[in-house]
């Protein structure tokens, strides 16, 4: 089964709407790389302008969060209905920063994955271990528990569309990336967990990215690994030239 790799930029809390549009104007025509899906996940406030700016390109737009309810008295929240209405295609769910700073639990992640599918959004679900968990030899166990929660209650046809981002927390924004071999091993393990939950065919369709200090100068090492289907990139996705180099590197 050949899987189309995805290079997704996670802009985190960076870029105004006008900065996002300038970015698209710079990368337009350079990220339409055959066989690679390019996505940028922007702050909510940039999404309407971004969705407009990418029209006519193959670049897709993602959000970085959504609420698990469709509407209601949840002051300050944004739902899947609203994202879908804007023309957003992807949504990051369960990023370690949301788990750490906004108390997002595995149960909330599961509800958000279901909300994404209700509104035709592809979830990019983040899993990954903390440094102390890695040092205690718990990497696979942590990833298994998070993966099982994220896929809970999905139909196989939905599960096959999920994008998983394996992001070891100690590698995020630190410049200390996982070796490509270690990332490949954990990602292969995560694919095995999905196979146990569903079946071989479903697991073979799920795209699993690596994330954590991915840069233009190391993307190729990750892409050479058989289990790794692209990257979720923070810092190195912010500059147009760097983002283009990442997409090129995923060919």
Q: What residues are labeled active site?
A: 95, 167
Report the distance separating Cα 179 and Cα 21, nearest Å.
34
Is-contact 70 115, C-beta < 8 A? yes
**91 or 172: whose CB is closer to ligand 13P?**
172
**Interface of this chain with ligand 13P, residues 135 to 174, rule: CB under 6 A:** 167, 172-173
Please give the residue whose beta carbon sits closest to ligand 13P in the complex: 234
**Interface of this chain with ligand 13P, residues 167 to 226, rule: CB under 6 A:** 167, 172-173, 211-214
Report the distance separating Cα 208 and Cα 210, nearest Å.
7
Smallest distance from ligand 13P to CB 211, Å: 4
On the CB side of 242, CA atoms within 13 Å amount to: 17
Smallest distance from ligand 13P to CB 251, Å: 20
By CB under 6 A, tell whether 234 contacts ligand 13P: yes
3-state secondary structure of 208: strand
Stretch that binds ligand 13P, among 111-119, 144-152, 228-236, 243-251 (CB under 6 A): 228-236
**40 or 108: whose CB is closer to ligand 13P?**
40
Smallest distance from ligand 13P to CB 230, Å: 12
CA distances from 209 to 73, 85, 110 (A): 35, 27, 19
CA distances from 161 to 20, 57, 202, 240 (A): 27, 22, 9, 28
Q: How far is CA 90 from the centre of its chain?
A: 8
The structure tokens listed for 120 are 């035709």
**125 or 198: whose CB is closer to ligand 13P?**
125
**7 or 203: whose CB is closer to ligand 13P?**
7
Smallest distance from ligand 13P to CB 152, Å: 22
């Amino acid at each position: 089964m050949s899987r189309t790799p995805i290079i997704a930029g996670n802009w985190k809390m960076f870029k105004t709407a006008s900065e996002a549009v300038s970015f698209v104007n710079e990368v337009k025509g350079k990220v339409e790389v055959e066989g690679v899906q390019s996505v940028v996940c922007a702050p909510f406030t940039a999404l309407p302008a971004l969705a407009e700016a990418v029209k006519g390109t193959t670049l897709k737009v993602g959000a970085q969060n959504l609420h698990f309810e469709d509407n209601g008295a949840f002051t300050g929240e944004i739902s899947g209905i609203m994202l879908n209405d804007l023309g957003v295609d992807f949504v990051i769910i369960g990023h370690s920063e949301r788990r750490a700073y906004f108390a997002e639990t595995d149960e909330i992640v599961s509800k958000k994955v279901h909300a994404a599918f209700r509104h035709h959004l592809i979830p990019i679900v983040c899993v990954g271990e903390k440094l102390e968990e890695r040092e205690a030899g718990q990497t696979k166990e942590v990833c298994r528990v998070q993966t099982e929660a994220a896929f809970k209650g999905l139909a196989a046809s939905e599960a096959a569309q999920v994008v998983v981002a394996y992001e070891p927390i100690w590698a995020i924004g630190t410049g200390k990336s996982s070796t490509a071999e270690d990332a490949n091993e954990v990602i292969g393990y995560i694919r095995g967990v999905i196979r146990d939950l569903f079946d071989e065919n479903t697991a073979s369709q799920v795209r699993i990215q690596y994330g954590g200090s991915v840069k233009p100068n190391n993307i190729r090492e990750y892409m050479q690994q058989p289990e790794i289907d692209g990257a979720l990139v923070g810092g190195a996705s912010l500059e147009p030239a760097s983002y283009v180099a990442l997409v090129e590197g995923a060919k």
